[in-house]
Chains A and B, each alone.
Chain A
Amino acid sequence: GAVVSQHPSRVICKSGTSVKIECRSLDFQATTMFWYRQFPKKSLMLMATSNEGSKATYEQGVEKDKFLINHASLTLSTLTVTSAHPEDSSFYICSARGATRPGQDTQYFGPGTRLTVL
C-alpha cells in the first residue's frame, strides 16, 4: 500500500534553532500535502496545505514566517520550524494526497515527528 514517511521521527533542539521536517510519498506522486500539529491529548490541527510548485496556504492563526513550507517536488514537502521555542514542542504529522492507481485518489498520513524544544 501507499506509504508516507517523515524524517526525523523525533528531534530535540535548543530554543532559537531551526528544525526541518521532511515528508515523502514513497510510491506515488502527491499533488497536495498537508501539515498538522497535535499537542498532547489534543486533536490534530491543520496548519497548512501545500501544492507542488506553489506557495502554501496557511490556516488562520498559523504564522507563515514561523512555519516555512516547501513543496519542492511531487514526492517531498518540508516543514521548517524557525527559531523554535518550547511552545513549539508538538507532534507534527503530514499527509499526502495522490493516486496509487488510476482513479484512486486518496489521502495518506505519515507517522509523525515529535519535536521537543528545550
Chain B
Amino acid sequence: SQQGEEDPQALSIQEGENATMNCSYKTSINNLQWYRQNSGRGLVHLILIRSNEREKHSGRLRVTLDTSKKSSSLLITASRAADTASYFCATGTGGFKTIFGAGTRLFVKA
C-alpha cells in the first residue's frame, strides 16, 4: 500500500467474539481514520482519532493510536455476521491527503 500495512490481512472469527485489526504507517500524521467497505461497495467512515489522542470509542468499536510506534488498532467487540467486510485504516496528513493501508478482510461466521 502507499502508506503502510495492516495485519492480519484476513481474519475469520465466530459471531460474538472480538476482532482486533492492526495498522502501521510510515509518516507523521494529523489523524488516523478507520473505514469499512462491503464487497464492491463504497466506504463507510467508522471513526477518526487525532494524533494527540490515544484511545477512542464508538459503540462496539475501540481504536487506539500509538504515534511513537506509528501504529493503530481497531477492536470490534461482540462481533456480528453483519460486521463481515474489509476494514481499512487511513492516515491524514497536511492538506487532507488521505492514504490508505492494505486492509483487513474480516469474516464473521454466524
Contact = CB atoms under 8 A, between A and B. Distances in A.
A93 B96 contact: no
Nearest to B42: A111
A15 interface: no
Interface of B: 1-2, 35, 40-43, 45, 88, 90, 92, 95-103, 105
A26 B101 CA distance: 28
A12 interface: no
A41 B105 CA distance: 9
A48 to B, nearest CB: 11
A41 to B, nearest CB: 8
A95 interface: yes
A114 B40 contact: yes
A93 B42 contact: yes
Interface residues of A, number: 22
Contacts of A32: 95-96
Nearest to B44: A109
Contacts of A58: none
A38 to B, nearest CB: 9
A110 B98 contact: no
Contact of B98 (A42, A46, A59): A46
Given A111-B42, A112-B42, A43 B96 contact: no
11 contacts: A36-B100, A41-B105, A43-B88, A43-B100, A43-B101, A43-B103, A44-B88, A107-B92, A109-B45, A111-B42, A112-B41
